[in-house]
Structures are given as structure tokens and as C-alpha cells.
Amino acid sequence: MANLYTLENGTIQIDADGNPITDIITPIVITRDDLTLYPHIITPEEEMRPDLILWSIYGQKGYVDEIFTLNNIVDPLSIRQGDIIWFVDENDIPKLQVSQSNQTNEEIINNLVDPNAEQKIDYNRDTGDNLLPTIKPTNMKQISVNTDNNTISVINKFK
């Protein structure tokens, strides 16, 4: 089983402090034109069950990373009955290649962080000025119980 999340065959870039930088944005699976993709339609039993899907396809529970990456699946709970999962022959799994990013560290960081991005303002929130406290002192009486007329009333409630 190929581990698609390693940098075994690539060059690891190092930042100014000597720490490795990994590009987690660029896709690492390259499909080749000589690979044949086959469809697998998800049955009700296989819904949200990658182990059963892979058992149906390959007769084992391996290759989860490969199939998920090939199909752009991030959340196994999103797999539903009737979905189509694409797969390759088991002998072709090693042909799914691990690629390295050609981006520099600065380009990788710029893709993640945009210093010129406009801040979003939530107009549903109050500015915070003159807000009432959300926690009352524990010694403050919250309700009044009148046993003479059998009533309970809330006192000192938030406005």
C-alpha cells in the first residue's frame, strides 16, 4: 500500500529556522492516462463505511488513503448510497504517484494567508459597549417563592 502522505521520494524544504515546510495544499496524487478508472456504486450497506467499500472492491480494507484522495473524499460520513466511487486495479495502485510541489515556501504561505484580505464584519453582533454582564453573582436571589399564594416569580432577570 502506498502511503500518499509521505515525502519519501522528494526534497523537503527547510525554513530559516531549520524547520521542514510541507505543502499541504498541492494535490499529491497524479493519475496517469494509462490508468483505467472503474466505477463502484455505493450500496445501502456501504454508506459511510469505507472499510466495506474497499472490501467490496479489493477484498481487503487497505488503500483508504488512495481511494479517498482519488475521489476527493475528506469525510467518510459524506459517502451515501448511490454515490460513485472511482477506483483502479489493485496492481495499478503503485502507479498513483506522489508528487512534490514546485512552489517556494513564500508561495505556499501566500496561498494560505492573504494579508490584504478584507476583514468580515458581523453586523448581527453588538459592538460590546454597554453590554449587560452574562454572569450574575452567586449570592443574588434568582427567584422568589411565595408559599402564601403558591407563586414563583423570577427576579433580577436580564433585560
Q: How far apart are CA 70 and CA 88, in angstroms?
A: 9
Is the C-alpha dihedral spanning 14, 115, 99, 59 positive or negative? positive
Output the nine-digit C-alpha cell for 69: 484522495
* Beta strands at 20-21 and 13-14: parallel, antiparallel or unpaired: antiparallel
Structural domain containing residue 50: 13-112
Asked if residue 135 is part of any domain, the answer here is no
Asked if residue 69 is part of any domain, the answer here is yes
Q: Tell me how many domains the chain contains.
A: 1
Asked if residue 158 is part of any domain, the answer here is no
Containing 13, the helix (H) or strand (E) segment is strand 13-14
pLDDT class of 159 with cuts at 50, 70, 90: very low
Query: What does the pLDDT read at residue 11?
Result: 54
Query: What does the pLDDT read at residue 5?
Result: 43
137: phi then psi, degrees, rounded to nearest 5: -60, 145
CB 94 within 8 A of CB 33: no
Q: How far apart are CA 78 and CA 61, in angstroms?
A: 18
Q: Using a pLDDT cut of 90, give the percent of the chain over it.
A: 26
Express each pLDDT in 35-79 by its tens digit. Answer: 899 999 999 999 999 999 999 999 998 888 889 988 989 899 999
Containing 31, the helix (H) or strand (E) segment is none
Asked if residue 155 is part of any domain, the answer here is no
Asked if residue 91 is part of any domain, the answer here is yes
DSSP states of 82-93? T-EEEE--GGGG
Q: How far apart are CA 46 and CA 37, in angstroms?
A: 20
Asked if residue 21 is part of any domain, the answer here is yes
- Given a cut of 70, whether residue 30 has pLDDT beyond it is no
Query: What does the pLDDT read at residue 146?
Result: 84
- Given a cut of 50, whether residue 137 has pLDDT beyond it is yes
Asked if residue 90 is part of any domain, the answer here is yes
Asked if residue 38 is part of any domain, the answer here is yes
pTM: 0.48
